[in-house]
Amino acid sequence: MMRVDQAMATTEARPATRRAIPPWLVWGGAIGLVQIFAIATVQPLGVSTAYPQFVGFVVDKLVPGFGETQPYLQKIGATIGWQVMLVVGIAIGALLSRLLMGWSNGNATACPLPSFWSGSKTQALAAFVGGFLIIFGARLADGCTSGHMLSGIAQLALSGFLFGAAAFTTGTLTAFLLMKRSSRVQGGER
Amino acid sequence: METTQVLGLITGILFGFALHRAGFSRCGLVMRGLAFRDFTMLKVMLTAIAVGMIGAAVLATFFPDYAHLKIKSLHVWGVLLGGLVFGIGMAIAGYCPGTALVGLGGGVRDGMLAVFGGLLGALAFILVYPVLEPRLIEPLNLGKLTLHEVLGLPYLAVALPMAALLVGIVVWLHRIETKAQATAGQDQC
């Protein structure tokens, strides 16, 4: 109940401040405050560890002993703790936000797509493959946008700065290449 | 549920709500952000980092009992290569691990698919970890280094100017974008 009330308070405060404060500032600042709450209570925000923890938890139920034989699961713990609950909460928070906006207006805040991927099937495959790469890369680096950037850089950790520089280098290059490709496709030169 | 689990859930709900309202449920914000077509992603991230930076340093300096900081180690090869792979995936999918969940919860198909891909990526990493660990994670691990420790300065003395620098970058990006929009007429987002 408390959660819903907090969420409601956030939306109610919105119309009054909306004209003066742009949304990116409101929600960027809000994420910063959530970070402070997280640090003050348990630990800084971090999302990607929860993926292997959840996978380990599920696979261990299907294949008993999996958690004990895999060194990585021994290291991070294949349990439903703060991090997995955080991840569940993120999905619930997004659902709640969309419901409060009215389901059909739900994507009103989202940006128009740049149509890197012509066709819905290609885009679906891209989402899946990209999803694979972000978690694999994040686990190799021991953190993602939240763990290494929102939290790492915010704590002045050198690992966070290196991760941010590396991720934005390939991210920008890939995005520019795809943007070029999509404009070529749209221009009909292919 | 245990207290930490409840706290995780509450934190996640607030985080997911804010990310959804910031516009991350669909892949466009990240894709356009990485291609420099739209600075919203950068502005949201840098604002959040600046607020967190000040908060973490203030907590650590004045309320150490409430500063549950967690510095990640700088294992150079893993962080570098992992970051490079991560960047490619982020551009292809238009999602990061957190925003994919925002897509999933916000009822966007691609977000759900990115989460599924991520779960498979997690399984793959669990299985290859014994091979990768001695090669990319153990060697050249410089430990949990922070900028203020390396510089030998007090935490706040580095955090506050750094946060000010980030705010400066945000203001600068906002000005560029506003100017570009004024010349190009009303742009999207």
Q: What is the pLDDT of residue B81?
A: 97
Q: Which of A30, A139, A162 sits opposite B80 (nearest CB)?
A: A162
Section A71-96 average pLDDT: 96
Three-class secondary structure of residue B92 per DSSP: helix
Total-model pTM: 0.90
Angle at which helix B109-132 crosses helix B97-105, to 10 degrees, equals 150
**d(Cα B24, Cα B11) in Å, to the nearest integer?**
17
- Residue A181 sits at the chain B interface (C-beta within 8 Å): no
Output A149 or A1, whichever has higher pLDDT: A149
Pick the residue of A155, A172, A182 with the most B CBs within 10 A to test the interface with B by mutation. A155
List all residues 6 or more positions away from B183 whose beta carbon is below 8 Å from its beta carbon. Answer: none
How many angstroms from the chain centroid is the CA of residue B187? Answer: 26
B29, B66, B72, best to mutate vs chain A, most A CBs in 10 Å: B72
**Which secondary structure element, helix H or strand E, spans residue A18, and what is its range?**
helix A2-18
Q: Which of B13, B78, B117 is nearest residue A141 as measured by Cβ atoms?
A: B78
Instruction: Please check the confidence at residue B11 and state whether its pLDDT lies above 90.
Output: yes
Cβ contact, residue pair B22, A136, below 8 Å: no
**Phi/psi of residue B75, each to 5°?**
-90, 100
Contacts of A76 in chain B (CB under 8 A): none
Closest-CA distance, A184 to chain B, in angstroms, reads: 15
- In this predicted model, what pLDDT tens digit does every residue of B131-173 receive, in sequence order? 999 999 889 999 999 999 999 999 999 999 999 999 999 999 9
- Two structure tokens written together for B107: 């009822």
What pLDDT score does A3 carry?
Answer: 46
Contacts of B24 in chain A (CB under 8 A): 110
Cβ distance B126 to A55 less than 8 Å, yes or no, reads yes
Q: How many whole angstroms separate alpha carbon A23 and alpha carbon A20?
A: 10
